[in-house]
A = this chain, B = another copy of it.
Amino acid sequence: MTVRPRLQARVFEVLDPDDRPAPIERALNLALSALIVLNVAGVVLGSVPAVERRFGAGLHLLELFSLGVFSVEYAGRVWTAPMKSGALPGWRGRLRWIFSVMGLIDLGVLLALALPGLGGLTAFRSLRLLKLVSILKFGRYSGSLSLIGRVLRSRREELLTTVLIVFVLVLIAATALFNLERGNKGFESIPAAMWWAIVTLTTVGYGDTYPLTGAGRAVAGFVMLLGIGIVALPAGLIASGFNEELQRRKTPGTGAPDQGHAPTP
């Protein structure tokens, strides 16, 4: 660890700058971010037929240029992967990064750019959007993003449980309404009724399907009330998560680091 090759360390710092980046590091990262934003704009606007007809050639050039830049970036990241804090040395560290989420996203983006003719798989081409995530990680908002991430992770189990509860409720509500609204539009089968149930439980309420019978509406009203609870559960979970996180930050040395001051004897 002590005898790091100079160039490798330099490349690592450029690609993974610390909190106070040097001007050159900041400039390179800004340029990379700008290229990502440009690619996103290309994906979004290129999906409009009129734009594709007029600027298709330009967008293609952008893709070629991005392929070059992102390839260099990818090579650099693989090379310097062992220098991340906590990473394994040598190729084991590199392989771990290659198969990490960020590594697979970067590889996917490269493949999507390299094989554009892939059977009209425009879906594949829009994979470039995922590079946006790497922008979020830099810059002004990285602090609050990691705060939000920590809070969500601290409530991971409970949030997943909420999703499970929603899933069971969707199944039960859909089956009930399928039996009550038999034959009405949108309730022809349980999978069809599940679409209604999820749209209702999340209080989105498109209005493409809704119960028409009295009994169906009574049960649906009950489902909507449950929907309010379903919105309230994660809100309460996240609120208590933020409370905890903020108190932890403030009382690093205290014995019992919780909100309510212990009863003074």
A147 to chain B, nearest CB (A): 7
Given contacts A148-B162, A208-B210, A235-B235, 16 further A-B contacts (CB under 8 A): A47-B178, A48-B191, A49-B188, A122-B179, A126-B190, A129-B172, A141-B164, A151-B236, A163-B225, A228-B231, A229-B238, A231-B232, A232-B238, A236-B239, A250-B258, A251-B260
Task: Name the residue in A129, A231, A236, A262 with the highest tally of chain B Cβ atoms < 10 Å from its Cβ.
Answer: A236
Answer whether A191 and B254 are a contact pair too, CB < 8 Å, given A172-B129, A228-B231.
no
Residues of B with C-beta under 8 A to A243: 239-240, 243, 259
* Interchain Cβ contacts under 8 Å between A and B, 8 examples: A47-B178, A48-B189, A141-B161, A144-B161, A204-B224, A232-B235, A240-B243, A250-B258
Q: State the oligomeric state as a number of copies.
A: 4
Task: Tell me the residues in window 194-239 of chain A with beta carbons closer than 8 Å to chain B beta carbons.
Answer: 194-195, 198-200, 202-208, 210, 214, 217, 221, 224-225, 227-239
